[in-house]
Structure 1
Amino acid sequence: MDFDCGDSRFYKNDENENLICEILYSIEDSGIISIDSTFVNDDYRGQGIAAQLVDRVVEMARAENKKIIPICPFAKGIFERNSALYADVIK
């Protein structure tokens, strides 16, 4: 899924502009990215969309040579279960 980029978030709306999903992050002065929350509309859950959102933030971190602190419980779980995949970006 392709996500739109907004102010400290990646998201996707449906054709009626209803929010399908979003991930909110913040970038600290030190350049550390904090993943603050993920959301997927109930109608779209179970399709791996939240994991795709996390991966989108990881792509951004790698491109910008930044580290990530996953505050969001979902993102934290993804990082813990797949630590080898994210070793280069985890703070």
Structure 2
Amino acid sequence: MEIRHEDLGRGGLFVAGEGEDRAELTYAPAGIQNSLIFDHTYVPEHMRGQGIAEKLVDHAVGYAREKGMTVVPACSYVRSLFQRHPERYGDVAAAEEKPIGRI
């Protein structure tokens, strides 16, 4: 499966397929220095269950690693993948913000 990167300036996406067979993962700058926010994955219903979303995440994580960036997994799918596989994604996962207590 070919995955391509589309740079949209302030953000972009990783895409597999075309037309009705198009799956994607979108990202944007996270507002934290050297971080990207992975905010959405989409795989058409007829293509689900083939591991396409995970391949998109792996490709996007590879991009972040090459750029020396961390990832904020805002998308629920990406977040669950990061939680299930810390050995694969722990090195790029942005540190979670700690809640500020009341004074």
Q: TM-score, normalised by structure 2?
A: 0.79
CA-CA distance at 1:20 after TM superposition: 2.0
CA contact (8 A) 2:25 2:38 kept: yes
Kindly indicate whether structure 1 or structure 2 has the higher relative contact order, using CA contacts under 8 Å at least 6 residues apart.
1
CA contact (8 A) 2:30 2:72 kept: no
The size of the alignment, in residue pairs, is 89
Moved over 4 A (4+): none
* Structure 1: tracts of 5 or more residues without a match: none
* Structure 2: tracts of 5 or more residues without a match: 95-103
Percent identity between matched residues is: 29
Residue 69 (1) aligns with residue 72 (2): yes
C-alpha separation in 2, matches of 1:80 and 1:27 = 21
Q: Select the structure of larger CA radius of gyration.
A: 2
C-alpha separation in 2, matches of 1:25 and 1:53 = 12
Comparing both structures, which one devotes a greater share of its residues to helix?
Answer: 2
Q: TM-score, normalised by structure 1?
A: 0.89
C-alpha separation in 2, matches of 1:86 and 1:13 = 25
